[in-house]
Amino acid sequence: MNTKLHAVTDADGRPSSFFITAGQISDYTSATALLDDLPKAQGCWPTGGYDAEWFCDALEQKGIKPYIPGRKSGSLPVKYDKRRYKRCNRIEIMSDRLKDWRRVATRYDRCPTVFFSALALAATVPFWL
């Protein structure tokens, strides 16, 4: 019943693709799945869970500048633009708007396919209609 939602959004914070994993699965696993869905963009503002060097290198190979802070426990500090990183709040706002739908927030559906379809409906109505 525990799941993580990974999403790719546009510059306005509207979701364009989703990926659901089990709650105990690492964020790096979903990062590899979402790399193919990334559109051409100037920058990427993922949360700190996606701070692996290979992920940043993969973004740069696609021509996308990563704005990801390093972990506090890391050995070397990572330079990033703090002002631009503040734009990642759009992703938090998107997930909060999805949770306005009670079915998504409480996860009534046990089947992942049904939950994913409810999630797609919840994303379509407020963001794309």
State pLDDT tens for residues 103-126.
Answer: 888 888 888 888 888 898 989 988
* 3-state DSSP assignment of residue 15: strand
Structure pTM?
0.71
Strands (E), 3-125: 3-9, 15-22, 43-44, 65-66
The residue type of 52 is A
Tokens of 70: 């390093």
What number of other Cβ atoms are within 10 A of residue 68's Cβ?
21
- Per-residue pLDDT of 38-75, as tens digits, reads 777 777 777 666 777 788 888 888 888 877 776 666 56
Which residue range is the domain that position 122 belongs to? 3-128
| CATH classification at residue 89 | 3.30.420
Contact present, 34 and 6 (Cβ < 8 Å): yes
> Domain count of the chain?
1
CA distance 8 to 127: 13
Tell whether the model's pLDDT for residue 20 goes beyond 60. Answer: yes
